[in-house]
A and B are shown apart, each in its own frame.
Chain A
Amino acid sequence: MNAQRRRALILSLALLALSVGALLFGLGIGSTGFQSVLAARHDPIALQIVWDIRLPRTLGAWLAGGLLGLAGAVAQGLFRNPLADPYLLGSASGASLGVAVALLLFGASPSTTQWVIRLGLTGAAFVGAVVAVLLTLALARGVQQTLRLLLAGVIVGVVLGAVKDLITIQSADILVALTGFMLGSTGLVGWSACALMAIFGASCLLLGWALAPVLDGLALGESTAASLGLPLGAMRAALVAVLALATGAAVAQTGLIAFVGLAAPHLVRSAVKTTHAWLLVLSALMGGLLLMTADLGARWFIAPQELPVGVLTAVLGGSYLLWLMHRRSLRGGA
């Protein structure tokens, strides 16, 4: 047990060190290349590029990835399903619907335009994501039955996605902006977005860490968890809240980024067997490192142009999962 804890500690330190390295690396990568860093001392524009664009977007990618990794670990523990991901309760469709509605209302009339400007697309996405989860909870009549919750989440996701499609068909000119959101991008993250994500990330991580014993209990089965004497209903509700808020905060700032939430907990589990308290922290760190690395790649591969980071995480995460499944099936067959 002690050896496992030491491994977890070493892994977390290694992930942190790699993240810091990637963060520093990220300062030098972008469409204007490394010379912006050299010129930053005397050129205010270069300083702005390094300090106000590259640093917050790299840090933002880490924070968003962390939020998604945390949400993924919570979802997989909560639903006792290794294929659960942060978007399971309808957050993704809700957020895209929020953005679609905001784009539709923008310019529809002066008063609605004012509203949209005040709320912003990020605000609309966050509201959409949270409302979708609330809808799922209402449909599932609470959090007692995991299967019901799962089904309700899938249904809400499909229905909200369809409503979003209806809206885009009505006004085709928002299609491009919406596609941009659905691909996911860390390019628009500024310091205020970083601060918001940091606040959400810290509180969600603390709450998740405090609730981790429930996840450990759930891993042994519902009845075992109940027999531990924990207030299961309330703690489950709190975990759903962590899942919804962490996902909503990440999605609002960066759009729909695939696979980070799904892959991060698996990566951690393949390296170390540990309790959920550690798993949550490690998944957050792993998710952060994953998305940050993907963001660096997105900026680097075809510089001075850039790839949508969501595409890159889908390709990387997807191939990792395929490999994982392949390895499992080999081991199962042997």
Chain B
Amino acid sequence: MKWFSRAAAACAVLLIHIAAAQAVQVTDERGIAVDLPRPPQRIVTLLPSLTEAVCEMGACARLVGVDRYSNSPDAVRALPQVGGGLDPNVEAIVALKPDAVLLAKSSRVTQRLESLGLKVLVLEPKNHADVQRVLAKLDEVLGTHEAPRVWRVIDASVSAAAQSVPPAARTLRIYFEVNNAPYAAGESSFIGETMARLGVRNIVPAALGPFPKLNPEYVVRANPDLIMVGERSAAGLEQRPGWAGIRAVREGRICRFTAAESDVLVRPGPRMGEAARLMAKCLSDKAP
């Protein structure tokens, strides 16, 4: 009888240890500590880059719902969509019974979901360092140890892409247009950081902020050698007043990315390596 109670006590201690090892407290980007009794098994993500990151870390099967704009990898297309950043659908989210909801910091639904008793984590990568940090956070949340590997893959792909850029292309000065307002990707954005790794120069200095709204005149005066732009906002680019004189337009060095390629380029997530490859390919194609 004595050995039994001792064994039972040992088991109890062991169980407590396991439970303690499983329960985690994760501090999200609001600085709020979120208690997770165990690694979440039913996850809803409301940001495409987070969806991609969760899947890249091998936890795609744990996703039960995503936002309308999450379209990669293919596996998430079959999942229920619970609205977008503009109009998250509270009822649809709750109905999925998630044990964690991952979303961007500007999402309006955070407070409401928390008041309904859901665990909400605000994670929003904005640059390379953020991506690395968010991956580490996701490791804590998911109870995985994938972040170092995923980051190594991104880092290696960016380096490989950089090596494929022909030396002649390295002198090019680039204008990356995010949309035709026009908003540009500056040096301090993750797109700018990737460009810097590729060894090319950006016409928008870091001082202007990550995604400044430019005066079209600024671009004309900066006279970039190459323009990277999404197909959607490329229409009529040559006809903008004064733009016909820009060297990139004159010499036909404009890379128009398809909608799918644009998705890859403008999401700070695990596909940043692929984005670097797309940019490197553009540079090789258009190198003088």
Question: Hey, which chain B residues are within 8 Å of A181, CB to CB?
Answer: 108
Contacting pair B30 A32 (CB below 8 A): no
One of A48, A110, A172, A183 near B211 (C-beta < 8 A): A172
Contacting pair A190 B183 (CB below 8 A): no
B83 sits at the interface (CB 8 A): yes
Question: Hey, which chain A residues are within 8 Å of B92, CB to CB?
Answer: 31-32, 304
Question: Which residue of B has the minimal Cβ distance to A193?
Answer: B112
One of B81, B94, B108, B183 near A188 (C-beta < 8 A): B108
Nearest chain A CB to B99 CB, angstrom units = 12
Query: In the complex the two chains form, what is the Cα distance from A190 to B115 in whole Å?
Result: 8
**Taking A45-B97, A52-B116, A120-B111 as contacts, is the C-beta distance between A180 and B85 under 8 angstroms?**
yes
In the assembled complex, 5 residue pairs joining A and B whose CB atoms fall closer than 8 Å, in A order, are A45-B95, A57-B90, A172-B211, A177-B85, A179-B86
Chain A residues close to B by CB (< 8 Å) = 30-32, 36, 45, 48-49, 52-54, 57, 103, 106-107, 110, 113-114, 117, 120-121, 169-174, 176-177, 179-181, 183, 185, 187-188, 190, 192, 304-306, 308
Question: Hey, which chain A residues are within 8 Å of B139, CB to CB?
Answer: none
Query: In the complex the two chains form, what is the Cα distance from A117 to B90 in whole Å?
Result: 20
Query: In the complex the two chains form, what is the Cα distance from A171 to B183 in whole Å?
Result: 11
Query: In the complex the two chains form, what is the Cα distance from A120 to B90 in whole Å?
Result: 18
Contacting pair B116 A190 (CB below 8 A): yes
Query: In the complex the two chains form, what is the Cα distance from A269 to B85 in whole Å?
Result: 39
**Taking A103-B106, A170-B209, A181-B108 as contacts, is the C-beta distance between A176 and B85 under 8 angstroms?**
yes
Find the residue from B29, B90, B112, B209 having the highest chain A CB count within 10 A. B90
Find the residue from B85, B107, B112 having the highest chain A CB count within 10 A. B112
The 6 A-B pairs with the shortest beta carbon distances in the complex, nearest first, are A177-B106, A31-B92, A180-B86, A188-B112, A32-B95, A30-B91
One of A121, A169, A190 near B108 (C-beta < 8 A): A121
B89 sits at the interface (CB 8 A): yes
Contacting pair B105 A180 (CB below 8 A): no
B241 sits at the interface (CB 8 A): no
Question: Hey, which chain B residues are within 8 Å of A190, CB to CB?
Answer: 112, 115-116
Nearest chain A CB to B134 CB, angstrom units = 14
Question: Hey, which chain A residues are within 8 Å of B32, CB to CB?
Answer: 117
Question: Hey, which chain B residues are within 8 Å of A54, CB to CB?
Answer: 91
Contacting pair B94 A53 (CB below 8 A): yes
Query: In the complex the two chains form, what is the Cα distance from A172 to B179 in whole Å?
Result: 11
Question: Hey, which chain A residues are within 8 Å of B95, CB to CB?
Answer: 31-32, 36, 45, 49
One of B29, B87, B97 near A185 (C-beta < 8 A): B87
Interface of A is mostly: helix
Nearest chain B CB to A86 CB, angstrom units = 22
Nearest chain B CB to A101 CB, angstrom units = 13
One of A31, A48, A183 near B116 (C-beta < 8 A): A48
Query: In the complex the two chains form, what is the Cα distance from A103 to B124 in whole Å?
Result: 14
Find the residue from B32, B86, B97, B183 having the highest chain A CB count within 10 A. B86
Question: Hey, which chain A residues are within 8 Å of B116, CB to CB?
Answer: 48, 52-53, 190
Contacting pair A106 B106 (CB below 8 A): yes
B287 sits at the interface (CB 8 A): no
Contacting pair A49 B115 (CB below 8 A): no
B236 sits at the interface (CB 8 A): no
Question: Hey, which chain B residues are within 8 Å of A53, CB to CB?
Answer: 90-91, 94, 116
Query: In the complex the two chains form, what is the Cα distance from A36 to B81 in whole Å?
Result: 18
Query: In the complex the two chains form, what is the Cα distance from A181 to B107 in whole Å?
Result: 11
Contacts A30-B91, A36-B95, A190-B116 aside, 17 further interface pairs with beta carbons under 8 A come to A32-B91, A45-B94, A54-B91, A107-B105, A110-B31, A113-B30, A176-B106, A180-B86, A181-B108, A183-B86, A185-B87, A187-B90, A188-B108, A192-B115, A305-B89, A306-B87, A306-B89
Question: Which residue of B has the minimal Cβ distance to A178?
Answer: B106
Contacting pair A187 B85 (CB below 8 A): no
B39 sits at the interface (CB 8 A): no
Query: In the complex the two chains form, what is the Cα distance from A183 to B111 in whole Å?
Result: 19
One of A31, A113, A120, A180 near B89 (C-beta < 8 A): A31
Find the residue from A54, A103, A107, A183 having the highest chain B CB count within 10 A. A107
B213 sits at the interface (CB 8 A): yes
Contacting pair A173 B86 (CB below 8 A): no
Question: Hey, which chain A residues are within 8 Å of B97, CB to CB?
Answer: 45
Find the residue from B91, B94, B97, B112 having the highest chain A CB count within 10 A. B91
Mark contacts of B69-88 with chain A using CB atoms, 8 A cut-off: 1 yes-contact digit, 0 otherwise: 00000000000110101111
B109 sits at the interface (CB 8 A): yes
**Taking A45-B97, A48-B116, A192-B115 as contacts, is the C-beta distance between A173 and B91 under 8 angstroms?**
no
Query: In the complex the two chains form, what is the Cα distance from A226 to B226 in whole Å?
Result: 72
**Taking A31-B95, A107-B29, A114-B31 as contacts, is the C-beta distance between A188 and B86 under 8 angstroms?**
no
